[in-house]
Chain A
Amino acid sequence: MTRDTSPFRYLAIHLKDVARTQVLLYAVVAFGLAFVSRKFMGDGVASGLDVADLLRSILGGTLMVAILMATGGVAGNDRKQGYYRAFFSKPMAPWSYYLQRWLVGLAAVLTIPLWLALAFQLLFGTGSHLTLELFASVALAYLVIGGAVLLFSTVTARDWLVVFLLYFMQRRMQEAQEMLTRMGQEVPRLVQVALTILPPFDQAAGVGTLPSGQTLWHVVLYGVAMVAAAVAVLIFRPLGSGGRA
């Protein structure tokens, strides 16, 4: 038998799986939120309020959950359930399989602004309000939050929960640091170190605006490093943890 050796031979299945679950759900939620906004705001949206701000606000409020949904358990669930034994007895590298699945998740998350814009256009007739910077900011959030989930997914099926807790902790410490600085007090060394080590969730979560200069580089490199570390773990760390596990 000749063999199909393309590393992308399973990509269509990843796309189908994500389209039938996440993308469909994102569309339903986007239309639902746009409908609720129309209901409560009425014609005020079209006449006075800034629809672009509303879109960014809805996106900002849902993006974290959407990213956790797109990436949660990406590799960790297969390890926990033992599916990896059948999958990776086939000529397929785990890192390639999961990286493709992660990238498909990015494509799915990038459809959220599209669904929202479409819903706004249909319900309010106010134009798309989509900008390249909006998509770039969503992609940046996915790189950092989704990258962290992918990294933790190589060792635990509760990857999304770990990242959510880290995100929560990082945001609270960031707020504490800002408050102490405003009050002219010294920020404890432990908080400074923790904020340096933890993924820059706060810098990546601003929907519609990108950080600039060195901050942007820091966020991008941090995200890429997490994805690269996840790939390295998938290459070098065996998937099993016991004879039957």
Chain B
Amino acid sequence: MIRFEAAGKRYTSLVTRRTVTALEDVTLEMRSGEVFGIAGPNGAGKSTLISLLMGFLSPTAGRVSIAGLPPRAYIESHGVGYLTELVNLPPHWHVPDALDRMARLAGVPPAERGARVTDVIGRLGLGEHVTKRIKQLSKGNLQRVGLAQAMLGDAELVVLDEPTHGLDPVWTQRFRTIVTELRRPERIVLIASHNLDELDSLADRVAILDHGHLQRIVDHATDSPATAAAWRVTFEGTVDVATLLPGATPVPGRGGSWRLVATRADVSRALAVLLGQGAVLVECVPEQGRLASAFREAVGE
């Protein structure tokens, strides 16, 4: 269990004594077994929140704990699988050497180290890059090395900061599979990302930060069925949706397309009636993900 209790972080300039509040009064809990997302615009405080969690910064207010311990005490005894936003490893290291070093630090026993390194090289598709140095890797491949080193220690806390940054679409999809495989009852997976679709599909709950404040936590388990969202529904030919869902409006210039705001249950009921009357459905898509709607609402855009 991770706890932020009224945690805050202010930076004070030594010279001018000017203070900047990066995070203020953040209270939240992350529970074992969940994939927790953190979303927010640039400068919202996501990186500061992760630095507090990793113990690389101390809070100037409140408290942060992991399994009841201060972050550094927890990490120095258990370790965390951590993918940094900008993967930083000494540039002259070769890829397998870098992973071997990280495996040693992660406490992988000597007898298992070679197999573990080979395993993550295979899972992350790094086989063709084993002769390269870190400095020779593309941004996407470097990101995969970062993810590989985060997976070495089999940690109970995995922190992924902008994990698909620089990944191509194929590896973005594979990353989603990897995160699904990382999910375990005793493990917390924390993902900070700008990509709301990614968080929408992977995370059980998502905290939305803006200007250093926790604006809202979107809980997919409780928010989903009852939350009204915007949908676009398109039929072949002319179908009158407005009689079943008052408020539905035809999309100008696109015959057969309607825009409506309704819960998932209401949309399903209306579609069942219309399809029963012989209407032919072309598409029914959420105009915006629930997380995207909540995000826009929370950050006031």
A172 at the binding interface (Cβ < 8 Å): no
Partner of A244, one of B47, B87, B104, B150: B47
Chain B residues with Cβ below 8 Å from A81 are 88, 90
Q: Quick check: A10 and B48 within 8 Å, CB to CB?
A: no
Number of interface residues of B (CB under 8 A): 45
B22-72 CB contacts (< 8 Å) to partner A: 22, 45-48, 50-51, 54-58, 72
Partner of B102, one of A3, A86, A239: A86
Partner of A238, one of B55, B78, B150: B55
Q: Quick check: B107 and A82 within 8 Å, CB to CB?
A: no
Q: Quick check: A1 and B108 within 8 Å, CB to CB?
A: yes
Q: Quick check: A83 and B56 within 8 Å, CB to CB?
A: no
B31 to chain A, nearest CB (A): 21
Chain B residues with Cβ below 8 Å from A212 are none
B101-134 CB contacts (< 8 Å) to partner A: 101-102, 104-110, 112
A92 at the binding interface (Cβ < 8 Å): yes
Partner of A82, one of B58, B84, B101, B110: B84
Residue of A nearest to B79 (CB): A91
A61 at the binding interface (Cβ < 8 Å): no
Q: Quick check: B55 and A1 within 8 Å, CB to CB?
A: no
Q: Quick check: A89 and B89 within 8 Å, CB to CB?
A: no
Chain B residues with Cβ below 8 Å from A168 are none
Given contacts A238-B57, A243-B47, A243-B51, contact A89 B107 (CB under 8 A): no
Chain B residues with Cβ below 8 Å from A88 are 56, 75
Q: Quick check: B104 and A9 within 8 Å, CB to CB?
A: yes
B137 to chain A, nearest CB (A): 14
Residue of A nearest to B146 (CB): A86
Q: Quick check: A90 and B11 within 8 Å, CB to CB?
A: no
B153 at the binding interface (Cβ < 8 Å): yes
Number of interface residues of A (CB under 8 A): 27
Partner of B90, one of A1, A83, A91: A83
A1-47 CB contacts (< 8 Å) to partner B: 1-5, 9-10, 13
Report Cα–Cα, A14/B80, bound state, in Å. Answer: 22
B85 at the binding interface (Cβ < 8 Å): yes
Report Cα–Cα, A10/B101, bound state, in Å. Answer: 8
Residue of A nearest to B153 (CB): A90
Chain B residues with Cβ below 8 Å from A243 are 22, 45-48, 50-51, 57
Chain A residues with Cβ below 8 Å from B159 are 89
Partner of A5, one of B88, B90, B107: B107
Q: Quick check: A86 and B77 within 8 Å, CB to CB?
A: no
A104 to chain B, nearest CB (A): 15
Q: Quick check: B11 and A242 within 8 Å, CB to CB?
A: yes
B184 to chain A, nearest CB (A): 13
Chain A residues with Cβ below 8 Å from B110 are 4
Given contacts A4-B108, A10-B104, A13-B101, contact A86 B89 (CB under 8 A): yes
Interface of B toward A, CB cutoff 8 Å: 11, 22, 45-48, 50-51, 54-58, 72, 75-82, 84-90, 101-102, 104-110, 112, 146, 149-150, 153-154, 159
Top 10 nearest A-B pairs by Cβ distance?
A240-B56, A89-B82, A243-B47, A90-B105, A91-B79, A3-B107, A243-B48, A82-B88, A1-B154, A90-B106
A-B contact pairs, 11 of them (CB 8 A): A3-B108, A9-B104, A13-B104, A85-B82, A85-B84, A86-B82, A90-B79, A91-B106, A242-B11, A242-B57, A243-B47
Question: Apart from A5-B107, A93-B76, what are 5 other A-B pairs with CB-CB below 8 Å?
Answer: A3-B108, A86-B149, A89-B81, A89-B150, A238-B57
